[in-house]
Amino acid sequence: MIRRILGTLLVLLGLVAAALGVASATIWRPSDTVTATMPAPESPVVLVEPGVLGLVADTVTLRATAPEEDLPIVLAFAPSSDVEAWVDGAAVTRVTGLEDWNELAVSTSEGDSTVPDPSEADIWRNTLPGTGELVVEITPDPGQVTLLAATDGTAAAPELSLSWPREVSTPYLVPALIVGGVLLLLGIGVLAYDMARRHTAKAQQESRVKADRMASSDITDTAAIPVTEDMPEGRLTRRQLRELERKRRAADPRLGEGGPVATTGGTVGAGIVPGVTSPERFRALRYVEDSPEITPDSPAS
């Protein structure tokens, strides 16, 4: 019983370990993409500080969404010092990093609610225009370059979302599968051993029961066999002696024609009766008492 419980427990533990390993590489596996968003800004410009675009990977997908579908969007890149001089005195929302894997860390500063139209400025190294919504893939500049996101300078700046690809590893998959497989094999081995032991014990029990039944049947079949009739009283003549001997031989199956004594020359050993046509008759001859020996006082005259 203990082996069966142990084997079952090992099998269950192996299955659980393997399932956890598979789950760690599937349903619990982190996404291959990190996407962080920010609340809709109220300031006329959003500045993404240097280094933020390359926080997770060498490339980033930037999505800018204007407050209204028909508003223009301008994404402009310039050295940080030039950008700071251009927005001086205006209200600014700054993206400084990641709050967590899903949210951008932002800070705000008070100031004027409008700025000049950024599309008309001549300080930008590069600009990416759009309307309503703009999605671009960017390879960040390693230098001190700031990204400015704005609409027309009078409306609120667009809301930004940054997405990076990332390499996700599954360190628990292989160890969990190995441990689960070992536990599963051990459990199956214990259950198989227990089953073999129980099968052997059952076979031995059946063999003992069969042997007991055969022994009981043999004893039942070996009732005593009467071999003589009542002895006559008085002195016996030779003729009476010969008649008694004939009857004794006729009553004793061992001495009859085809019996073990006649077949083996008078030898019966270990219950083995070679050459006997009906061995069932002689199974228990060792339990049959011999006829009383007749010893006449003297030969009949």
147 neighbors 48 (Cβ within 8 angstroms): yes
- Tally: H helices and E strands in the chain: 5, 10
**What would the pLDDT profile of 111-139 be if each residue is shown by its tens digit?**
998 999 998 998 999 999 999 999 999 99
Beta bridge partners of 98: 104
**What would the pLDDT profile of 242-259 be if each residue is shown by its tens digit?**
787 777 777 766 555 555
DSSP state of 150: E
Instruction: Write out the DSSP string of 180-196.
Output: HHHHHHHHHHHHHHHHH
Instruction: Write out the DSSP string of 196-217.
Output: HHHHHHHHHHHHHHHHHHHHHH
pLDDT band at 2 (very low <50, low <70, confident <90, very high): confident
Share of the chain above pLDDT 90, in %: 48
Strands 60-65 and 133-138: antiparallel
pLDDT band at 32 (very low <50, low <70, confident <90, very high): confident
Residue of 163, 156, 161 lying closest to 63 (CA atoms): 161
d(CA 115, CA 150): 9
Residue 126, SS3 per DSSP: strand
Average pLDDT, the chain: 81
Burial of 268 (0-12, 13-18, 19+ CB in 10 A): middle
Does 72 have pLDDT greater than 90? Answer: yes
Residue 176, SS3 per DSSP: helix
